[in-house]
Amino acid sequence: MLGYSNDADKPVYYVYAWYYKNTGEIFYIGKGKNDRYKDRKNHRNIYFINILNKHGDNVDVKILENNLIEKDALLREKLLIS
């Protein structure tokens, strides 16, 4: 398929965490690529949106692990959530 790129086997993924600045408590773990970790609106669940609406200036995000292939990023995300 012309123009199609499958990144699943490329180390372009990462695992990230959103957390409260004042306590360091993590409230969201995710996996992504490119600038997904910075996204505050697109494809976010209502739980995430409600936290941002209530604590907007008191939350931040950090990348926990990067340069992962998609399969490994999904496994790390699952492990960190549990």
Residue holding tokens 């292939």? 69
Reported pTM: 0.86
State the average pLDDT over residues 6-12. Answer: 89
Per-residue pLDDT tens over the stretch 40-69? 888 888 999 999 999 989 999 999 999 999
Nearest-CA neighbor of 30 among 67, 80, 71?
80
- How many angstroms separate the CA atoms of 82 and 79, rounded? 5
Q: Which two tokens stand for residue 52?
A: 């941002």
Do residues 17 and 38 touch, judged by C-beta distance below 8 A? no
Per-residue pLDDT tens over the stretch 21-40? 999 999 999 999 999 999 98
- How many angstroms separate the CA atoms of 17 and 26, rounded? 6
